[in-house]
Structure 1
Amino acid sequence: MTRLRGTLMAAAVPLFLLAACAQPGTTGAGAPDSRESPSAYPQGGDELVLRVESSGGFVPPDRTVGTLPAISIYADGRLITQGPVPAIYPGPALPNLQVVTLEPDQVQQLVKEATDAGVRSGTDFGRPNVADAPTTRVTVATAQGTQAVAVEALNEAQKDDPMLTAPQEAARSTLAAFVNKLSDLSSSGDPKAAGPYEAESIAALARPYVKQGADQPAQPEVAWPGPALPGDFINPAFKIGCVVVTGADSDKVVAAAKKANQLTPWTADGVKYLITFRPLLPDEKGCVQFKGNR
Protein backbone atom coordinates (compact mmCIF):
# COMPACT_ATOMS: atom_id res chain seq x y z
CA MET A 1 0.00 0.00 0.00
CA THR A 2 1.24 3.47 -0.79
CA ARG A 3 2.48 5.22 2.33
CA LEU A 4 2.42 8.91 2.94
CA ARG A 5 5.18 11.03 4.41
CA GLY A 6 4.20 13.82 6.68
CA THR A 7 5.81 17.25 6.39
CA LEU A 8 3.40 20.22 9.51
CA MET A 9 0.28 21.95 10.58
CA ALA A 10 -1.42 21.91 13.83
CA ALA A 11 -4.76 23.16 14.96
CA ALA A 12 -6.40 22.03 18.18
CA VAL A 13 -8.96 19.19 18.36
CA PRO A 14 -12.03 20.09 20.33
CA LEU A 15 -12.24 17.97 23.46
CA PHE A 16 -14.94 18.30 26.09
CA LEU A 17 -13.19 20.27 28.83
CA LEU A 18 -12.93 17.76 31.60
CA ALA A 19 -12.60 18.46 35.28
CA ALA A 20 -8.97 19.07 36.17
CA CYS A 21 -8.57 15.82 38.01
CA ALA A 22 -7.78 12.25 37.02
CA GLN A 23 -10.51 10.37 35.20
CA PRO A 24 -10.76 6.58 35.00
CA GLY A 25 -10.70 5.29 31.46
CA THR A 26 -13.33 3.36 29.60
CA THR A 27 -11.56 0.01 29.49
CA GLY A 28 -11.81 -1.25 33.02
CA ALA A 29 -10.11 1.45 35.09
CA GLY A 30 -10.78 1.07 38.78
CA ALA A 31 -9.16 0.14 42.03
CA PRO A 32 -5.63 -1.18 41.46
CA ASP A 33 -5.17 -4.93 41.73
CA SER A 34 -2.00 -5.78 43.61
CA ARG A 35 -1.69 -8.96 41.59
CA GLU A 36 -1.14 -7.01 38.36
CA SER A 37 1.82 -4.87 37.39
CA PRO A 38 0.74 -1.22 37.06
CA SER A 39 3.24 -0.85 34.23
CA ALA A 40 1.71 -3.55 32.03
CA TYR A 41 0.43 -2.21 28.70
CA PRO A 42 -1.26 -3.50 25.49
CA GLN A 43 0.91 -5.69 23.27
CA GLY A 44 -0.72 -5.12 19.85
CA GLY A 45 1.64 -3.00 17.74
CA ASP A 46 -0.93 -0.34 16.82
CA GLU A 47 -2.47 -0.14 20.30
CA LEU A 48 -2.04 3.21 22.02
CA VAL A 49 -0.02 3.18 25.24
CA LEU A 50 0.55 6.87 26.01
CA ARG A 51 -0.77 10.11 24.56
CA VAL A 52 -0.43 13.80 25.33
CA GLU A 53 -2.77 16.26 23.63
CA SER A 54 -4.06 19.77 24.09
CA SER A 55 -7.50 21.31 23.70
CA GLY A 56 -9.31 24.57 24.28
CA GLY A 57 -7.61 27.86 24.84
CA PHE A 58 -8.16 31.01 22.84
CA VAL A 59 -8.72 29.24 19.50
CA PRO A 60 -11.81 29.56 17.27
CA PRO A 61 -13.69 26.25 17.39
CA ASP A 62 -13.82 25.92 13.60
CA ARG A 63 -9.99 25.95 13.58
CA THR A 64 -9.58 23.17 16.09
CA VAL A 65 -10.78 20.25 13.99
CA GLY A 66 -7.97 17.95 12.93
CA THR A 67 -5.36 18.83 15.50
CA LEU A 68 -2.58 16.34 16.09
CA PRO A 69 -1.67 14.99 19.52
CA ALA A 70 1.64 16.31 20.79
CA ILE A 71 2.90 12.79 21.61
CA SER A 72 1.61 9.29 20.87
CA ILE A 73 3.39 6.11 21.99
CA TYR A 74 2.35 2.66 20.77
CA ALA A 75 2.85 -0.87 22.06
CA ASP A 76 5.50 -1.65 19.44
CA GLY A 77 7.62 1.26 20.71
CA ARG A 78 6.80 3.88 18.08
CA LEU A 79 6.74 7.43 19.45
CA ILE A 80 5.07 9.81 17.01
CA THR A 81 5.33 13.54 17.47
CA GLN A 82 5.27 16.77 15.48
CA GLY A 83 8.61 17.79 14.03
CA PRO A 84 9.98 21.29 13.38
CA VAL A 85 8.23 23.51 10.83
CA PRO A 86 9.48 26.42 8.73
CA ALA A 87 8.86 29.87 10.20
CA ILE A 88 6.89 31.04 7.17
CA TYR A 89 3.35 32.24 6.52
CA PRO A 90 1.27 30.61 5.28
CA GLY A 91 2.79 27.37 6.51
CA PRO A 92 3.15 24.12 4.54
CA ALA A 93 -0.03 22.20 3.77
CA LEU A 94 1.31 18.89 5.08
CA PRO A 95 2.20 18.24 8.73
CA ASN A 96 5.73 17.21 9.64
CA LEU A 97 5.32 14.07 11.73
CA GLN A 98 8.36 12.28 13.09
CA VAL A 99 8.68 8.80 14.59
CA VAL A 100 11.31 7.27 16.84
CA THR A 101 11.39 3.72 18.15
CA LEU A 102 11.71 3.02 21.85
CA GLU A 103 12.84 -0.24 23.43
CA PRO A 104 10.15 -2.36 25.18
CA ASP A 105 11.64 -1.68 28.61
CA GLN A 106 11.52 2.07 27.89
CA VAL A 107 7.82 1.86 27.08
CA GLN A 108 7.09 -0.13 30.24
CA GLN A 109 9.09 2.32 32.34
CA LEU A 110 7.17 5.27 30.86
CA VAL A 111 3.85 3.63 31.73
CA LYS A 112 5.01 3.26 35.33
CA GLU A 113 6.27 6.84 35.40
CA ALA A 114 2.94 8.08 34.03
CA THR A 115 1.02 6.59 36.94
CA ASP A 116 3.70 7.82 39.36
CA ALA A 117 3.24 11.31 37.85
CA GLY A 118 -0.46 11.29 38.72
CA VAL A 119 -2.10 9.88 35.58
CA ARG A 120 -4.54 7.83 37.64
CA SER A 121 -7.90 8.11 39.31
CA GLY A 122 -8.02 10.42 42.30
CA THR A 123 -5.18 12.82 41.55
CA ASP A 124 -6.20 16.41 42.33
CA PHE A 125 -4.66 19.07 40.07
CA GLY A 126 -7.01 21.89 41.04
CA ARG A 127 -8.31 24.66 38.79
CA PRO A 128 -6.08 27.72 38.60
CA ASN A 129 -7.16 31.32 38.16
CA VAL A 130 -6.25 31.40 34.46
CA ALA A 131 -8.62 32.27 31.62
CA ASP A 132 -8.52 30.95 28.04
CA ALA A 133 -5.64 28.56 28.70
CA PRO A 134 -5.50 25.16 27.02
CA THR A 135 -6.24 21.90 28.79
CA THR A 136 -3.56 19.19 28.68
CA ARG A 137 -4.89 15.65 28.54
CA VAL A 138 -2.59 12.70 29.29
CA THR A 139 -3.79 9.15 28.66
CA VAL A 140 -2.03 5.89 29.62
CA ALA A 141 -3.02 2.24 29.16
CA THR A 142 -2.26 0.10 32.21
CA ALA A 143 -3.11 -3.36 33.52
CA GLN A 144 -6.02 -1.77 35.39
CA GLY A 145 -7.36 -0.14 32.23
CA THR A 146 -7.00 3.22 30.57
CA GLN A 147 -6.34 6.14 32.90
CA ALA A 148 -6.59 9.79 31.83
CA VAL A 149 -6.18 13.21 33.41
CA ALA A 150 -7.18 16.58 31.97
CA VAL A 151 -5.41 19.54 33.55
CA GLU A 152 -6.29 23.15 32.83
CA ALA A 153 -3.40 25.59 32.29
CA LEU A 154 -0.75 22.99 33.16
CA ASN A 155 2.08 25.29 32.04
CA GLU A 156 0.35 28.65 32.33
CA ALA A 157 -0.61 28.78 36.02
CA GLN A 158 1.56 30.83 38.39
CA LYS A 159 3.24 29.06 41.30
CA ASP A 160 1.50 31.34 43.78
CA ASP A 161 -1.95 30.98 42.20
CA PRO A 162 -4.42 31.61 45.05
CA MET A 163 -6.81 28.99 43.67
CA LEU A 164 -4.27 26.18 44.08
CA THR A 165 -3.20 24.42 47.25
CA ALA A 166 0.39 23.32 47.86
CA PRO A 167 -0.43 19.63 47.11
CA GLN A 168 -2.19 20.64 43.87
CA GLU A 169 0.82 22.71 42.81
CA ALA A 170 3.11 19.77 43.56
CA ALA A 171 0.89 17.42 41.51
CA ARG A 172 0.90 19.83 38.57
CA SER A 173 4.68 20.24 38.75
CA THR A 174 5.22 16.46 38.75
CA LEU A 175 2.94 15.94 35.75
CA ALA A 176 4.52 18.84 33.82
CA ALA A 177 7.98 17.33 34.38
CA PHE A 178 6.78 13.98 33.02
CA VAL A 179 5.24 15.60 29.93
CA ASN A 180 8.50 17.48 29.33
CA LYS A 181 10.41 14.21 29.55
CA LEU A 182 8.18 12.69 26.89
CA SER A 183 8.77 15.71 24.67
CA ASP A 184 12.52 15.31 25.04
CA LEU A 185 12.52 11.62 24.06
CA SER A 186 12.17 12.34 20.35
CA SER A 187 15.49 14.20 20.31
CA SER A 188 17.40 12.18 22.92
CA GLY A 189 20.06 9.62 22.19
CA ASP A 190 18.05 6.74 23.65
CA PRO A 191 15.70 5.86 20.75
CA LYS A 192 17.27 3.49 18.24
CA ALA A 193 15.63 4.92 15.11
CA ALA A 194 14.23 8.22 13.92
CA GLY A 195 12.64 9.49 10.73
CA PRO A 196 9.45 10.75 9.06
CA TYR A 197 6.22 9.05 10.05
CA GLU A 198 4.75 7.24 7.05
CA ALA A 199 0.97 7.16 7.33
CA GLU A 200 -1.01 4.56 5.42
CA SER A 201 -3.83 7.04 4.86
CA ILE A 202 -4.53 10.73 5.27
CA ALA A 203 -7.72 12.63 6.01
CA ALA A 204 -8.57 15.73 3.99
CA LEU A 205 -10.73 18.07 6.09
CA ALA A 206 -12.44 20.42 3.66
CA ARG A 207 -14.31 23.61 4.47
CA PRO A 208 -15.72 26.31 2.16
CA TYR A 209 -13.02 28.67 0.93
CA VAL A 210 -13.15 32.15 2.40
CA LYS A 211 -11.47 34.93 0.47
CA GLN A 212 -8.45 36.22 2.32
CA GLY A 213 -8.09 39.84 3.37
CA ALA A 214 -6.55 42.48 1.14
CA ASP A 215 -3.35 42.35 3.20
CA GLN A 216 -2.89 38.64 2.43
CA PRO A 217 -0.98 37.52 -0.67
CA ALA A 218 -3.11 35.92 -3.36
CA GLN A 219 -2.76 32.14 -3.53
CA PRO A 220 -2.94 30.20 -6.81
CA GLU A 221 -5.79 27.73 -7.13
CA VAL A 222 -5.01 24.00 -7.29
CA ALA A 223 -7.30 21.34 -8.78
CA TRP A 224 -8.13 18.70 -6.18
CA PRO A 225 -6.85 15.29 -7.41
CA GLY A 226 -8.47 13.07 -4.76
CA PRO A 227 -11.90 11.66 -3.83
CA ALA A 228 -14.99 13.84 -4.15
CA LEU A 229 -15.19 16.77 -1.74
CA PRO A 230 -16.36 17.71 0.81
CA GLY A 231 -17.04 14.13 1.91
CA ASP A 232 -18.92 13.32 5.11
CA PHE A 233 -19.67 16.32 7.30
CA ILE A 234 -17.95 15.97 10.66
CA ASN A 235 -18.98 19.44 11.80
CA PRO A 236 -22.15 20.58 10.00
CA ALA A 237 -22.20 23.89 11.89
CA PHE A 238 -18.97 24.93 10.19
CA LYS A 239 -19.56 22.83 7.03
CA ILE A 240 -16.36 20.84 7.53
CA GLY A 241 -16.28 17.62 5.53
CA CYS A 242 -13.84 14.73 5.62
CA VAL A 243 -12.55 12.25 3.05
CA VAL A 244 -9.81 9.68 3.59
CA VAL A 245 -7.19 9.35 0.88
CA THR A 246 -5.33 6.07 0.48
CA GLY A 247 -4.10 3.66 -2.16
CA ALA A 248 -3.75 4.97 -5.71
CA ASP A 249 -5.06 8.45 -4.85
CA SER A 250 -2.42 9.11 -2.23
CA ASP A 251 0.52 9.79 -4.55
CA LYS A 252 -1.41 12.41 -6.53
CA VAL A 253 -2.77 14.14 -3.43
CA VAL A 254 0.55 14.22 -1.57
CA ALA A 255 2.42 15.47 -4.64
CA ALA A 256 -0.05 18.34 -5.01
CA ALA A 257 -0.07 19.11 -1.28
CA LYS A 258 3.72 19.37 -1.17
CA LYS A 259 3.46 22.34 -3.52
CA ALA A 260 0.60 23.96 -1.58
CA ASN A 261 0.22 25.79 1.72
CA GLN A 262 -2.42 26.19 4.44
CA LEU A 263 -4.24 28.94 2.51
CA THR A 264 -4.23 27.28 -0.93
CA PRO A 265 -7.70 27.31 -2.56
CA TRP A 266 -8.48 23.80 -3.81
CA THR A 267 -11.06 23.51 -6.59
CA ALA A 268 -13.43 20.58 -7.12
CA ASP A 269 -16.53 20.59 -9.37
CA GLY A 270 -16.48 24.38 -9.56
CA VAL A 271 -16.30 24.86 -5.77
CA LYS A 272 -13.35 26.20 -3.77
CA TYR A 273 -12.22 24.65 -0.49
CA LEU A 274 -9.62 25.15 2.19
CA ILE A 275 -8.17 21.78 3.15
CA THR A 276 -6.46 20.65 6.34
CA PHE A 277 -4.36 17.55 5.73
CA ARG A 278 -4.34 15.17 8.67
CA PRO A 279 -2.27 11.95 8.50
CA LEU A 280 -4.07 9.20 10.39
CA LEU A 281 -2.17 7.74 13.34
CA PRO A 282 -1.95 3.96 13.88
CA ASP A 283 -4.91 3.86 16.29
CA GLU A 284 -7.16 6.08 14.16
CA LYS A 285 -9.74 4.75 11.73
CA GLY A 286 -11.24 7.03 9.11
CA CYS A 287 -12.95 10.31 9.89
CA VAL A 288 -14.88 9.19 12.95
CA GLN A 289 -12.39 10.53 15.55
CA PHE A 290 -12.83 14.07 14.23
CA LYS A 291 -16.55 14.14 15.06
CA GLY A 292 -16.07 14.90 18.73
CA ASN A 293 -14.08 13.83 21.71
CA ARG A 294 -11.04 11.73 20.86
Structure 2
Amino acid sequence: MTIYFLGGGNMAEAIAGGLVKQGGYHVHIANRGAGKRERLARELGVQVSEKLPGLSADDVLVLAVKPQDMQAACAGLQTSGALVLSVAAGLSIDTLSRWLGGTRRIVRVMPNTPSKVGLGVSGLFAADGADEADKRLAQNIMAAVGETVWLENEAQMHAITGITGSGPAYVFYLMNALQAAAVQQGFDEKTARSLSLATFKGAAALAESSGEDFSTLQQNVTSKGGTTFAAVEAFNAHRLPEAIEAGVNACVARSQEMAQQFEAV
Protein backbone atom coordinates (compact mmCIF):
# COMPACT_ATOMS: atom_id res chain seq x y z
CA MET A 1 0.00 0.00 0.00
CA THR A 2 1.17 3.49 -0.90
CA ILE A 3 -0.31 6.73 0.40
CA TYR A 4 -0.31 9.13 -2.52
CA PHE A 5 -0.75 12.87 -2.09
CA LEU A 6 -2.12 14.93 -4.95
CA GLY A 7 -0.64 18.32 -4.11
CA GLY A 8 2.32 19.14 -1.90
CA GLY A 9 1.07 22.18 0.00
CA ASN A 10 1.28 22.89 3.72
CA MET A 11 -1.35 20.38 4.83
CA ALA A 12 -0.04 17.61 2.58
CA GLU A 13 3.45 18.26 3.91
CA ALA A 14 2.18 18.18 7.51
CA ILE A 15 0.34 14.88 7.09
CA ALA A 16 3.09 13.26 5.05
CA GLY A 17 5.65 14.40 7.61
CA GLY A 18 3.61 12.90 10.43
CA LEU A 19 3.33 9.60 8.59
CA VAL A 20 7.07 9.49 7.91
CA LYS A 21 7.83 10.27 11.54
CA GLN A 22 5.44 7.56 12.73
CA GLY A 23 6.85 5.05 10.27
CA GLY A 24 5.29 2.06 8.59
CA TYR A 25 3.90 3.88 5.56
CA HIS A 26 5.12 4.27 1.99
CA VAL A 27 4.45 7.92 1.04
CA HIS A 28 4.50 9.47 -2.43
CA ILE A 29 3.73 13.14 -3.24
CA ALA A 30 2.72 14.38 -6.68
CA ASN A 31 3.27 18.11 -7.13
CA ARG A 32 3.68 20.28 -10.20
CA GLY A 33 6.46 22.50 -8.86
CA ALA A 34 9.93 21.04 -9.32
CA GLY A 35 11.42 23.09 -6.51
CA LYS A 36 8.77 21.94 -4.06
CA ARG A 37 9.24 18.31 -5.13
CA GLU A 38 12.98 18.51 -4.54
CA ARG A 39 12.51 20.02 -1.08
CA LEU A 40 9.89 17.46 -0.03
CA ALA A 41 12.07 14.59 -1.20
CA ARG A 42 15.09 16.00 0.60
CA GLU A 43 13.39 16.98 3.89
CA LEU A 44 10.82 14.19 4.24
CA GLY A 45 12.58 11.39 2.39
CA VAL A 46 9.45 10.56 0.37
CA GLN A 47 9.05 9.68 -3.27
CA VAL A 48 7.91 12.54 -5.48
CA SER A 49 6.70 12.99 -9.04
CA GLU A 50 5.10 15.65 -11.21
CA LYS A 51 2.02 13.52 -11.84
CA LEU A 52 0.37 10.66 -10.03
CA PRO A 53 1.44 7.19 -11.17
CA GLY A 54 -1.13 4.45 -11.63
CA LEU A 55 -3.12 3.63 -8.50
CA SER A 56 -4.44 0.32 -7.21
CA ALA A 57 -7.30 -0.59 -4.89
CA ASP A 58 -4.81 -1.15 -2.07
CA ASP A 59 -3.58 2.44 -2.21
CA VAL A 60 -4.77 5.64 -0.55
CA LEU A 61 -5.12 8.91 -2.44
CA VAL A 62 -5.10 12.11 -0.39
CA LEU A 63 -6.57 15.03 -2.34
CA ALA A 64 -4.66 18.03 -1.04
CA VAL A 65 -5.03 20.70 -3.71
CA LYS A 66 -7.00 23.91 -3.26
CA PRO A 67 -10.79 23.51 -3.58
CA GLN A 68 -10.94 25.85 -6.57
CA ASP A 69 -8.30 23.74 -8.36
CA MET A 70 -9.76 20.36 -7.48
CA GLN A 71 -11.97 19.79 -10.52
CA ALA A 72 -9.10 20.39 -12.92
CA ALA A 73 -6.78 18.24 -10.80
CA CYS A 74 -9.28 15.36 -10.86
CA ALA A 75 -9.90 15.53 -14.61
CA GLY A 76 -8.95 12.18 -16.09
CA LEU A 77 -7.78 10.81 -12.76
CA GLN A 78 -8.34 7.06 -12.38
CA THR A 79 -8.67 6.06 -8.73
CA SER A 80 -8.79 2.34 -9.63
CA GLY A 81 -10.74 1.65 -6.45
CA ALA A 82 -8.23 3.34 -4.10
CA LEU A 83 -9.47 4.87 -0.86
CA VAL A 84 -9.76 8.65 -1.33
CA LEU A 85 -9.21 11.13 1.48
CA SER A 86 -10.08 14.74 0.75
CA VAL A 87 -8.79 17.57 2.93
CA ALA A 88 -10.38 20.25 0.73
CA ALA A 89 -12.92 22.50 2.42
CA GLY A 90 -16.36 22.89 0.91
CA LEU A 91 -16.25 19.95 -1.49
CA SER A 92 -19.03 17.48 -0.73
CA ILE A 93 -18.78 13.75 -1.24
CA ASP A 94 -21.30 13.96 -4.07
CA THR A 95 -19.20 16.62 -5.83
CA LEU A 96 -15.96 14.70 -5.34
CA SER A 97 -17.58 11.49 -6.51
CA ARG A 98 -18.85 13.19 -9.62
CA TRP A 99 -15.38 14.53 -10.42
CA LEU A 100 -13.75 11.16 -9.70
CA GLY A 101 -15.79 9.01 -12.03
CA GLY A 102 -18.42 7.93 -9.52
CA THR A 103 -16.31 6.37 -6.77
CA ARG A 104 -17.90 6.52 -3.29
CA ARG A 105 -14.90 5.13 -1.42
CA ILE A 106 -14.25 8.56 0.01
CA VAL A 107 -13.53 10.00 3.45
CA ARG A 108 -13.70 13.74 3.91
CA VAL A 109 -11.25 15.22 6.39
CA MET A 110 -11.10 18.69 7.95
CA PRO A 111 -7.68 19.06 9.59
CA ASN A 112 -6.11 22.22 10.98
CA THR A 113 -2.70 23.85 10.90
CA PRO A 114 -1.38 22.60 14.29
CA SER A 115 -1.11 19.28 12.44
CA LYS A 116 2.30 20.64 11.42
CA VAL A 117 3.52 20.04 14.99
CA GLY A 118 1.50 16.89 15.67
CA LEU A 119 -1.19 18.73 17.66
CA GLY A 120 -3.90 18.96 15.04
CA VAL A 121 -7.58 18.14 15.24
CA SER A 122 -9.23 16.44 12.27
CA GLY A 123 -12.93 15.92 11.71
CA LEU A 124 -13.77 12.93 9.50
CA PHE A 125 -16.86 11.77 7.65
CA ALA A 126 -17.03 8.65 5.49
CA ALA A 127 -19.13 8.18 2.37
CA ASP A 128 -21.40 5.17 1.98
CA GLY A 129 -18.76 3.47 -0.17
CA ALA A 130 -16.14 3.42 2.60
CA ASP A 131 -16.27 0.41 4.94
CA GLU A 132 -15.09 0.06 8.53
CA ALA A 133 -11.58 -0.93 7.45
CA ASP A 134 -11.40 2.23 5.34
CA LYS A 135 -12.50 4.30 8.31
CA ARG A 136 -9.86 2.75 10.55
CA LEU A 137 -7.19 3.41 7.94
CA ALA A 138 -8.29 7.03 7.50
CA GLN A 139 -8.27 7.52 11.26
CA ASN A 140 -4.81 6.00 11.60
CA ILE A 141 -3.47 8.29 8.89
CA MET A 142 -4.84 11.44 10.53
CA ALA A 143 -3.85 10.28 14.02
CA ALA A 144 -0.26 10.70 12.86
CA VAL A 145 -0.75 14.47 13.15
CA GLY A 146 -3.10 14.79 16.13
CA GLU A 147 -6.56 14.00 17.43
CA THR A 148 -9.49 12.77 15.33
CA VAL A 149 -13.25 12.98 15.69
CA TRP A 150 -15.86 11.24 13.55
CA LEU A 151 -18.85 13.34 12.55
CA GLU A 152 -22.44 12.11 12.60
CA ASN A 153 -23.34 13.59 9.23
CA GLU A 154 -21.67 15.43 6.38
CA ALA A 155 -23.34 18.73 7.28
CA GLN A 156 -21.18 18.80 10.40
CA MET A 157 -18.14 19.31 8.18
CA HIS A 158 -19.24 22.95 7.96
CA ALA A 159 -19.53 23.20 11.75
CA ILE A 160 -16.14 21.70 12.47
CA THR A 161 -14.62 23.99 9.85
CA GLY A 162 -15.91 26.91 11.90
CA ILE A 163 -14.57 25.51 15.18
CA THR A 164 -11.32 23.59 14.76
CA GLY A 165 -10.58 24.07 11.06
CA SER A 166 -10.39 27.85 11.28
CA GLY A 167 -10.05 27.92 15.08
CA PRO A 168 -6.25 28.34 15.18
CA ALA A 169 -6.66 31.60 13.26
CA TYR A 170 -9.01 32.86 15.98
CA VAL A 171 -6.43 32.01 18.64
CA PHE A 172 -3.66 33.75 16.68
CA TYR A 173 -5.97 36.75 16.32
CA LEU A 174 -6.37 36.93 20.10
CA MET A 175 -2.66 36.35 20.66
CA ASN A 176 -1.90 39.25 18.35
CA ALA A 177 -4.43 41.44 20.16
CA LEU A 178 -2.86 40.65 23.54
CA GLN A 179 0.59 41.35 22.09
CA ALA A 180 -0.63 44.70 20.77
CA ALA A 181 -2.08 45.53 24.19
CA ALA A 182 1.27 44.69 25.81
CA VAL A 183 3.04 47.05 23.41
CA GLN A 184 0.50 49.73 24.26
CA GLN A 185 1.39 49.20 27.91
CA GLY A 186 5.04 49.94 27.18
CA PHE A 187 6.64 46.55 26.41
CA ASP A 188 8.82 46.14 23.33
CA GLU A 189 7.58 43.93 20.47
CA LYS A 190 9.77 40.95 21.33
CA THR A 191 8.82 40.93 24.99
CA ALA A 192 5.16 41.53 24.15
CA ARG A 193 5.15 38.50 21.84
CA SER A 194 6.80 36.33 24.47
CA LEU A 195 4.28 37.43 27.11
CA SER A 196 1.30 36.68 24.86
CA LEU A 197 2.67 33.32 23.72
CA ALA A 198 3.57 32.20 27.25
CA THR A 199 0.14 33.23 28.55
CA PHE A 200 -1.76 31.21 25.94
CA LYS A 201 0.61 28.26 26.22
CA GLY A 202 0.38 28.18 30.02
CA ALA A 203 -3.40 28.62 30.09
CA ALA A 204 -3.90 25.77 27.60
CA ALA A 205 -1.59 23.48 29.59
CA LEU A 206 -3.41 24.31 32.83
CA ALA A 207 -6.80 23.66 31.26
CA GLU A 208 -5.66 20.31 29.91
CA SER A 209 -4.06 19.15 33.15
CA SER A 210 -6.88 20.28 35.46
CA GLY A 211 -9.78 18.92 33.45
CA GLU A 212 -11.99 21.70 34.83
CA ASP A 213 -14.51 23.66 32.79
CA PHE A 214 -13.09 26.72 31.10
CA SER A 215 -15.63 28.88 32.92
CA THR A 216 -14.47 27.48 36.28
CA LEU A 217 -10.83 28.16 35.43
CA GLN A 218 -11.77 31.71 34.53
CA GLN A 219 -13.68 32.19 37.77
CA ASN A 220 -10.70 30.89 39.73
CA VAL A 221 -8.73 33.99 38.74
CA THR A 222 -11.63 36.45 38.61
CA SER A 223 -12.25 37.78 42.09
CA LYS A 224 -15.26 40.08 42.14
CA GLY A 225 -14.13 43.67 42.12
CA GLY A 226 -10.54 42.68 41.29
CA THR A 227 -8.29 43.41 38.35
CA THR A 228 -9.28 40.41 36.21
CA PHE A 229 -12.92 41.12 36.98
CA ALA A 230 -12.50 44.60 35.52
CA ALA A 231 -11.00 43.14 32.33
CA VAL A 232 -13.79 40.55 31.93
CA GLU A 233 -16.42 43.22 32.52
CA ALA A 234 -14.86 45.27 29.73
CA PHE A 235 -14.85 42.24 27.40
CA ASN A 236 -18.53 41.62 28.14
CA ALA A 237 -19.37 45.28 27.63
CA HIS A 238 -17.82 45.06 24.17
CA ARG A 239 -19.75 41.84 23.55
CA LEU A 240 -16.64 39.76 22.89
CA PRO A 241 -18.41 36.37 23.34
CA GLU A 242 -21.07 37.42 20.82
CA ALA A 243 -18.38 38.60 18.41
CA ILE A 244 -16.62 35.23 18.56
CA GLU A 245 -19.90 33.41 18.02
CA ALA A 246 -20.65 35.67 15.06
CA GLY A 247 -17.24 34.88 13.59
CA VAL A 248 -17.82 31.13 13.87
CA ASN A 249 -21.25 31.51 12.29
CA ALA A 250 -19.77 33.53 9.42
CA CYS A 251 -17.14 30.84 8.84
CA VAL A 252 -19.76 28.07 8.80
CA ALA A 253 -21.98 30.08 6.44
CA ARG A 254 -19.08 30.63 4.05
CA SER A 255 -18.28 26.92 4.08
CA GLN A 256 -21.90 26.16 3.19
CA GLU A 257 -21.84 28.79 0.45
CA MET A 258 -18.66 27.32 -1.04
CA ALA A 259 -20.22 23.86 -1.08
CA GLN A 260 -23.23 25.16 -2.98
CA GLN A 261 -21.00 26.90 -5.51
CA PHE A 262 -18.99 23.76 -6.18
CA GLU A 263 -22.12 21.63 -6.46
CA ALA A 264 -23.30 23.91 -9.25
CA VAL A 265 -20.12 23.37 -11.28
Normalising by structure 2, we get a TM-score of 0.21
Highest Rg: 1 or 2? 2
Return the structure number with greater helix share.
2
Normalising by structure 1, we get a TM-score of 0.20
Higher normalized contact order (CA 8 Å, seq sep 6+, divided by chain length): 1
